[in-house]
Amino acid sequence: MTSQPRTRLTTALGAALLLAAGGCSVLEPDKIDYKSAGRGTSLEVPPDLTQLPGQSRYQMPGGAVTASGFQAGQAATVAAGAPTASSTIGDVHFERQGGERWLRVDRPADKLWSPVRDFWQENGFLLAVDQANIGLMETDWAENRAKIPQDFIRNTVGKVFDSLYSTGERDRFRTRMERNAQGGTDIYITHRGMEEVYASARRDSTVWQPRARDPELEAEFLRRLMVKLGVSQEQSKAMVASGGTAAAATGAAQAPVNAQVVALPGGAPAVQVADEFERAWRRVGLALDRTGFTVEDRDRSKGLYFVRYVDPSVEKKEPGFFGKLFGAGSQQLPTTKYQIAVRGEGSGSTVSVLDDQGVPAPAADAQRIVKVLVDELK
């Protein structure tokens, strides 16, 4: 799969821009200005994946935002000495445990779905997945145009030929909502990225490849979402900063043992983590989101995620993969349904792979999926 480099203009116009490159300005690290790269169609969900019927476990039951509320929440967190750092204003809580960050909002999901959808659209995204019945929302691939240097030519000629400029990076974000034990909603945001790199030393063609997730982008969009939900800019920044500080203070004592591959009775591979079920369920859900699994359904009472999985080796071999990411291709990658089972065992948990019938998946399939999960859970 190849494409012409788009990170700079070609021919005479490209040469002129490159000569002016020395005047490029440095962007502020938190400057974000996304522009969608697609048309809002579902890019990874196969066409036969229809809307699932509503499940009662996702029909979640249903203040003033003040600085005193924030301070009270901080005091309660310190007094409790809880391993999960929490900053609170009104009914919005910023939670952090280890490397995981999420929002806990004391509102039912049906009251949050529309504001969260508006939030992503206001930030320059189209939605590729919008499934309220399973609490899943995912943007299309988009480019952070703020990363493009704002030099003289960019501010003049670039206004006419804006589409010729590109950062060579694309991002997409998944939002997952789950009912919590208090009757409110937990909101998770995860990031996936792609980057365009030269395919050869001659630099005459490029390919797109995955790049590492950006946890700071995830945190920034959680912060912006807090503002959408009623927290002020200043309060949201204080909550994120305080959550990070509190988490760092407890992180050393709470650092989890790295996930490891184990063999279950019968020889099936599984992942063992040193986390009780509550945290293991949350971490596995985030791992599935970040590694590109399509979560069709979930049943927390049984510890099951129902997913579709695309073998990455198949993705890399099939021509036109990135074209399909942006909706240009018509062929679909083969996918298979699985169940990811999370079983709590005292202070630890085991994560195993089942087929769509609930029996252990074929060994080769289980080994591939277990490797993907253990790499993300470490």
Query: pLDDT by residue (tens digit) across 151-184?
Result: 544 455 445 444 555 678 899 999 999 998 889 9
> pLDDT band at 92, cuts 50/70/90?
very high
Please say if the pLDDT value at position 11 is more than 50.
no
**Do 233 and 305 belong together in one domain?**
no
Where is pLDDT greater, at 212 or 165? 212
**pLDDT at residue 343, rounded to an integer:** 96
Give me 48's structure tokens: 């036969």
> pLDDT band at 130, cuts 50/70/90?
very high
- The domain boundary residue, chosen from 210, 227, 251: 251
Query: Does any domain span residue 14?
Result: no
**Do 98 and 150 belong together in one domain?**
yes
Give me 242's structure tokens: 């305080």
Most confident of 291-300, 322-331, 333-342: 291-300
**Do 260 and 216 belong together in one domain?**
no
- The domain boundary residue, chosen from 205, 226, 251: 251
Chain Cα centroid distance, residue 9: 31
**Do 234 and 273 belong together in one domain?**
no
Residue 46, helix vs strand vs coil: coil
Most confident of 206-210, 247-251, 355-359: 355-359
Backbone angles phi, psi at 135, to 5 degrees: 65, 35
**Do 183 and 332 belong together in one domain?**
no
Tell me, what CATH number does 353's domain have?
A: 3.30.310.170
**pLDDT at residue 128, rounded to an integer:** 93
Strands (E), the chain: 34-36, 85-89, 92-97, 100-105, 127-131, 136-139, 142-144, 169-179, 185-198, 206-211, 260-263, 269-273, 294-299, 304-309, 336-345, 348-355
DSSP 55-94: -GGGS-------HHHHHHHHHHHHHHT-SSEEEEETTEEE
Query: Does any domain span residue 2?
Result: no
Q: In this structure, are residues 206 and 212 in contact, taking their beta carbons and an 8 Å threshold?
A: no
**Do 91 and 225 belong together in one domain?**
yes
Query: Does any domain span residue 220?
Result: yes
**Do 207 and 302 belong together in one domain?**
no
Q: How many structural domains comprise the chain?
A: 2
**Do 245 and 260 belong together in one domain?**
no
**Do 377 and 229 belong together in one domain?**
no
Please say if the pLDDT value at position 223 is more than 50.
yes
Give me 354's structure tokens: 């089942």
**Do 353 and 265 belong together in one domain?**
yes
Residue 249, helix vs strand vs coil: helix
Query: Does any domain span residue 20?
Result: no
**Do 199 and 285 belong together in one domain?**
no
Range of the structural domain that residue 315 is part of:
256-378
Query: Does any domain span residue 89?
Result: yes
Query: Does any domain span residue 270?
Result: yes
- What would the pLDDT profile of 241-276 be if each residue is shown by its tens digit? 886 544 444 444 455 557 899 999 989 999 999 999
Query: Does any domain span residue 5?
Result: no
- The domain boundary residue, chosen from 251, 276, 308: 251
Most confident of 17-31, 157-171, 249-263, 295-309: 295-309
**Do 307 and 233 belong together in one domain?**
no
Query: Does any domain span residue 47?
Result: yes
Give me 205's structure tokens: 């063609």
